[in-house]
Chain A
Amino acid sequence: MNILTRSKKLISVFKSSVLLDRTGVLRSVCSVPKARKDLCLPPLFTTNVPSCQHRHHLSTLNLDTKRLYSEICTESDESTKSTGVFREESQEMESDSSALNQRPPEKFTIDVLVSLLRQENAVDICVIKVPEQITYSDYFIVVSGVSPRHLRAMALYAVKVYKFLKKEGAPNVKIEGKDAEDWMCIDFGDMVVHFMLPESREVFELEKLWTLRKYDEQLKSMPTETLPEDFIYDGKVTK
């Protein structure tokens, strides 16, 4: 067994542990899901993997990304399923899932991120396109959550999907603000996401700042700094 399939299995093992917690769908799909759940939970290097489990993991890998596709392409019609393995699982999913013939999202774009956030029941998703003059990022996203645990779960899921979809050479992404419960951020290079609780969102008003750059109210209410009378320009008075 080569390293690639083993690493894929690792990812799928990790993913299936998350998926089995979330969706009750998979239970009907594979014959022995509950027993496998106990195996899946600690991430293991499984050396002797039965073939059925292999197929199950492959399907869960695809299912996880399929959950994303169904959010992305909701309008496309149901198309013919390609392989027999996926047939049962896709029937359990929502009727509008037709992602099998759709290409998987190869890049972690803004659409992927927003659909992921919608899936996670994020409250008040605000995506702001940052103008070209500000060389910070392309998109600035502010998201609220129900509780600190919800924010943490959303952030971890976003990082997980990013790691799955990224190319080999791309840098990994860090969650900033892990010890602050009410504000977490992730910087994906061309996108920045902020997960905040509604209270801190009200205090900071990031959307207002990033939409009205100079004309923001809090900026205007800051007193303009004036030089004091005895200020001596060009150098400091040494003691």
Chain B
Amino acid sequence: MALSLLSRSLAGLLVESSSITHQRTFSVSAVAAAIQKMTRVRVVDNSSLGNTPYHRAPRVIHVYTQNGIGKVGDKVLLAIKGQKKKALIVGHKMPGDRMTPRFDSNNVVLIEDNGNPTGTRIKVPIPTHLRKHEGEYSKVLAIASAFV
């Protein structure tokens, strides 16, 4: 009887340990650069193109700025599911201006060629300093549900 109890508790423990996210004992700092060509990005809207799984992550193939560096509010060209799509950067891992949010992932919202967003809702928080930038961001801000 004691054995069965033990085995049951052990089994429970084993199951739990596999579902906990693994933790390292040493800290690793990732390369924090702004978004440029060949960076893998995370699409944060609810478009089908951004959310259907594919064996390759969406990558940036062109950044529409003077230098090839993409910050928040810049348009980029992504390669998703074998097709090209324009997108807008809404957050990156690189620390920006003081008192602007820094995100743990390079977030991007898919956009059509005429500027309309492809998805209809954004769950991830969007920085409010987008509003002060020069550009057409009201549409993306209108479908956002959380602001940072």
Contacts and interface: CB of A to CB of B under 8 A. Distances in A.
27 contacts: A136-B147, A140-B142, A176-B138, A177-B115, A179-B115, A180-B116, A181-B114, A182-B116, A185-B136, A185-B142, A194-B138, A194-B142, A206-B143, A209-B121, A209-B145, A214-B145, A218-B121, A219-B145, A222-B121, A222-B123, A227-B21, A232-B22, A233-B23, A234-B24, A234-B27, A236-B28, A236-B31
Main secondary structure of the interface of A (DSSP, over half): loop
A42 interface: no
Contact of A236 (B30, B120, B131, B139): B30
Interface string A202-234: 011110011001101011001101010111111
B145 A216 contact: yes
B46 interface: yes
Interface of B: 18-19, 21-24, 27-31, 46, 51, 112, 114-116, 120-121, 123, 128, 131, 136-139, 141-143, 145, 147
Interface of A: 134-136, 140, 176-177, 179-183, 185-187, 192, 194, 200, 203-206, 209-210, 213-214, 216, 218-219, 222-223, 225, 227, 229-236, 238
B73 to A, nearest CB: 13
A46 to B, nearest CB: 34
Consensus secondary structure, chain B interface: loop
A177 B121 contact: no
A186 B137 CA distance: 10
Nearest to A142: B142
Contacts of B23: 233-234
Contacts of A238: 28, 30-31
A235 B143 contact: no
